[in-house]
Structure 1
Amino acid sequence: MSKDDVVLRVDNLVKTFGALVATDHATFEVERGTITGLIGPNGAGKSTLFNLISGFYEADSGSVSVNGTDVTGQEPYEIADHGLIRTFQTPRKVEGMTVREAMLVGPRNQPGESFLKLFTAPGEVGEAESKNMDDVNRILEEFEIDHLATQPATKISGGQMKLVELARAMLSEPEILLLDEPAAGVNPTLRNKLAEQIRRLNEQGTTMLLIEHDMEFVMSLADPVIVLDQGSVLMEGRPDEVQSDTRVIDAYLG
């Protein structure tokens, strides 16, 4: 079924590693304003698909479009400039930085990244850095992790780091956010906090595509849910439809 307002379109993506077909003509759309779940048994090709969409892998064939713009074959930073931001299953802890400093890596297109502008437009650089700092402090507070701001980024827990990574992704003001197993390895309290934040961000207008092995977590958040099996889309539907579909049950149990 065609969707009205598509923010991400994946069309016939194919990726092979030698004889292994990791992604087999995967095709789907993500509608603006949704939390779309992407599930499937181990080896279904979910992580490969995320890496293809976000530019970390190059597809053998097929295409990826963000807001109608073909981003196939672009570098991750170029795709990010089109508004597609992703998190990783295991967030990278930034050595030698506090949580606040690690957050400041998040904003896109900072004028201070230009060596020339540091000399030719110091006022513009200073103004941007001041705004970024205000944004970081605001977002840390919104995520209820402002108490971690001065902690070394390497000293916080894995669950706290996932919240920090989600918060940092929001500094880029994504059109669509790809979440790679946000609940993996997270204790129940932080897991619930992550779910709350994902819902809040979605209610504020952020579109999300979510990979998750935790069925309870993904089914409580996502609508619709896309099921991947052996690199292909097996079906798409509401959480209740997906959970009662015999093809899905066979894919997981078979």
Structure 2
Amino acid sequence: MNTKTLADISQAAATAEGRVTLWRAIVAASEAATMLEIGVWKGAFAAAMLAAPSSLSRYYMLDPWRRLPQWNKPFNRDDAAFAAVFDAAIAATDFAAARRTILRGTTAEMIDAIPDAALDIAYVDGDHTLRGIAIDLMRAYPKVRPGGILGGDDFSATVWQHRDAYEPTLVNPFAVYFAEAQEATIAILPFRQFAILKPEEENRGFRVVDLVGEGEDWSLRSRLKPRRKPVPQTT
């Protein structure tokens, strides 16, 4: 585990006013030069990262910006709506056009445009279903250098982030399981954020650093409490 990186993240978590200031502080403290964002939407987060004084010289913006039939979440609009969303993302980050790289497609389609171990930070804010977070973390992790950070959004205490008609949100607890599989430290951060610290080979070891008091129960069952009273069973 990189103790300096963890100390920097802890300091950022203690002083941040929101997820933007949190990640700006992490980027600055880690002196990140290359960063990936998965799930860009209209580019507000990307613009905030690129506008902050930092060492960022390459920012990858990866998003399908199109309707995905298998994605059962509220933001899955029609292609015409996504065209407008894409235009907004481009406009929001045009001031940093020389430093951004647009990767328009799904993670599976586009991630290999980034060399392995090329990223200082990868930030995942895409498809938060179990299918989506599994693909995003598994495919993004090799692109992060040892000593780098794989983080993300919507580490929600409940799987029922949206109405019952939509797939559950399973960033929490899957990100914890993923960190355990990789023998890495995961920091649970304010504002429903998380950060996995990719270890150097000699520093492998799973650890959860809970900076918000989530507790030690990372079971899925504890997050599957029904939203409504269960239907009585008949015999």
Larger Rg: 1
- Greater percentage in strand: 1
TM over 0.5: no
Shorter-chain TM range is 0.3 to 0.5
- Structure having greater relative contact order (Cα 8 Å, sep ≥ 6): 1
Q: Normalising to structure 2: TM-score of the pair?
A: 0.38
